[in-house]
Amino acid sequence: MPNWKLTLAYDGTGFHGWQVQPGHLTIQGELAAAIERVTGESVLPQGSGRTDAGVHALAQVASFELAAPIPPSNLHRALNRALPSSIRVLSAEHAQPDFHARHSVLAKTYEYRIFRGEICPPWLARYVYALNWPLEVEKMQLAAALVTGEHDFTSFAAADPDLSTRQSGPAAPPNNVRTIYSSSWTEEESLLIYTVRGNGFLHHMVRNLIGTFIDAGREHIAPEDVQTILERRSRPAAGPTAPARGLFLYSVEY
């Protein structure tokens, strides 16, 4: 059967994340339902990663197989008619038989947006973390640079509830080693934007990094403490988890 690749954008505000969960509205569930309405086929599209509840995407990627001989342009239009307006298919195309949205990933980029103004406009509120505390951005930049390279990110990883429910018997120690290719902050008018690119990310990892960098910006920790936090491999050593609403899956590379 033909293998398909979709690129999606979505507002994650009203969804309980990407992955199908009984009794909850999810991106994967809505996409699967739309595909079935359009083609009559029941498939479970695989995403490049499982964005959490409230997290947005500018370019999520999904793959699945279909027997229906439908042209890509027709599937593209039909899915956007069948999906809620908070989920849009940006492109639909045939993929190589061995392509898999998650297993074929080479790198991903996430972006986190902090609003620094006095009053956050209501049309921005669901897409930013409104934070007008004084912040030393230079210290946040120094802290962010320290996570580049290959590290064990256990200190920045939340327990994955989906993984624990799938396991039976003694759990093998998780492999929390990831490589971060770039990690930096930029300022654009009233926005402070963190961009991170890596070969993979753990559950809540980006949001836990953000909480720690904010601690550095508020001078609750020194930027160089990030190295010690990494070495401790203990979640309590790092900062709090930043809100989901400021996080975007920016791009996926294959």
Phi, psi of 84 (to 5 degrees): -65, 155
One-character DSSP codes across 151-207: EE-GGG----HHHHHH--SSPPPP--EEEEEEEEEEEETTEEEEEEEES---TTHHH
With b meaning 16 or more CB within 10 Å and e meaning fewer, what string describes 166-198?
Answer: eeeeeeeeeebebebeebebeeeebebbbbbbb
Residue 218 tokens read as: 């508020």
Q: Are 157 and 173 within 8 A, CB to CB?
A: no
Query: Could you give the angle at the alpha carbon of 4 between the alpha carbons of 84 and 77, nearest 5°?
Result: 40
Catalytic residue among 11, 52, 215, 225: 52
- Annotated active-site residue 52? The verdict is yes
Positions marked catalytic: 52
